[in-house]
Amino acid sequence: MKTLLFLFLVTFSAMVSAETKVQPTREISIIFSEEGYYPKSISVFEGEKVRFFVTSTTDKPNCFIVESHKVFLSATKGKISEGEVTFDKPGSFSFYCPSSKNDGRVVVLETKKPERAIASEKKDPLKWVPKDYEKEVGIYE
């Protein structure tokens, strides 16, 4: 009976994990210094889950704010603040700290979905064809 229950649980968990699509998380570290944020510009893809790790090299209180996505993290020397957000739309979103007047940008790139088609059904005259075949079939005459 225990073996049967174990097999059922293994099969069920395999089916559930196959159906649920796990989205990878991009982890980005941001360091605040006297000169500003490092890096000042970040690129991610739309639909990607992003985890920010923020710290500071200065003793002054600083922060990391992406207002459009409701991310508010403190940047404190010797400590790491952590926050997570998903960028659903492509575009450019600013991050800043009002106390230090420094800013930066998160650029969200559009993900292109590949066009799927059967090669024999796709008729594209701009494709390369061998010259002998052109003469035989009468393409480009």
Helix ranges (DSSP H) in 2-116: 2-19
Rounded-to-integer distance, Cα 81 and Cα 25, Å? 17
Q: What contacts 51, CB < 8 A, 6 or more positions away?
A: 25, 26, 27, 28, 82, 83, 84
Instruction: Supply the pTM of this predicted model.
Output: 0.63
Lowest mean pLDDT among 16-20, 80-84, 87-91: 16-20
Contact 43, 107 (CB under 8 A): yes
User: Domains of the chain by range and CATH?
Assistant: 21-109 (2.60.40.420)
Distance, CA of 45 to chain centre: 4
Give the pLDDT confidence of 38-84 residue by residue, as tens digits: 999 999 998 889 999 999 998 888 888 888 888 898 888 889 999 99
pLDDT of residue 100: 82
Give the pLDDT confidence of 93-133 residue by residue, as tens digits: 999 888 888 889 999 998 877 777 666 565 655 666 666 66
pLDDT of residue 74: 86
Rounded-to-integer distance, Cα 96 and Cα 37, Å? 9
What is the helix (H) or strand (E) element at residue 57, kind and residue range? none
